[in-house]
Amino acid sequence: MNKYLFKEFLQNKRIYALNKTYWRNQVAKTAPGRKEALIHNHLQTSFANGQPMQDGNPIYSAFSKPLKRAVRIIQQMPGAKDSPFSAWVKETEFNGQDIQELVIDLQLTPETKAKALQLIHIWFKPDMPTTEAAKQIKEILHTRPYANSL
């Protein structure tokens, strides 16, 4: 039986907010390099009228301007039919520039959190080229449970 974290996050605004803060703190502790270079929650998460979307996509995002890399964490409801963990790297645009984005889609358990943070640590290494970071992430995903390809 999986131990889900923040189980009721989609039904409860307070739990959703706590979950977002939890991810910010976890990534801030995990990401190597200059912490001030990381822009937290850079993606739009509210409708035009200001109402928060609160759908878990993303529950958290961050952008490193020096690396031109971003991460987006999509958190699913516990027990969703999708895989409990998947990740991929894709090209996207942010503020008019092409960047690489690590997308992590998960149901939050202690195991999937650890895997996500491991990938984020690699992704934001300042001395590692993007292609090498993507290669290492792909290798990790191909050798661990819940993996899917990049």
Question: Looking at residue 145, what is its pLDDT?
Answer: 54
pLDDT at residue 47 greater than cutoff 60: yes
Residue 23 neighbours by CB under 8 Å, 6+ apart: 59, 60, 73
As a three-state string, the secondary structure of the chain is CCCCCCCCCCCCHHHHHHHHHHHHHHHHHHCCCCHHHEEECCCCCECCCCCECCCCCCCEEEEECCCCEEEEEEEECCCCCCCCEEEEEEEEEECCEEEEEEEEEEECCHHHHHHHHHHHHHHCCCCCCHHHHHHHHHHHHHHCCCCCCC
pLDDT at residue 1 greater than cutoff 60: no
Question: Looking at residue 41, what is its pLDDT?
Answer: 83
- Residue whose pair of structure tokens reads 């999937």 in the numeric block: 112
pLDDT at residue 29 greater than cutoff 70: yes
* Structure-model confidence comparison of residues 98 and 144, the more confident one: 98
Residue 103's CB: how many other CB atoms inside 10 A?
Answer: 19
- Tell me whether strands 97-107 and 69-76 are parallel, antiparallel or unpaired: parallel
pLDDT tens digit string along 118-149?
999 999 999 999 999 999 999 999 875 544 43
Looking from the CA of 148 toward its CB, the CA atoms found within 13 Å total 12
Question: Looking at residue 10, what is its pLDDT?
Answer: 94
Cα–Cα distance for residue pair 34/4, rounded to 1 Å: 31
- Residue whose pair of structure tokens reads 């889900």 in the numeric block: 4
Residue 77 neighbours by CB under 8 Å, 6+ apart: 10, 56, 107
pLDDT tens digit string along 6-18?
999 999 999 999 9
Query: Does the global pTM surpass 0.75?
Result: yes
Cα–Cα distance for residue pair 120/130, rounded to 1 Å: 12
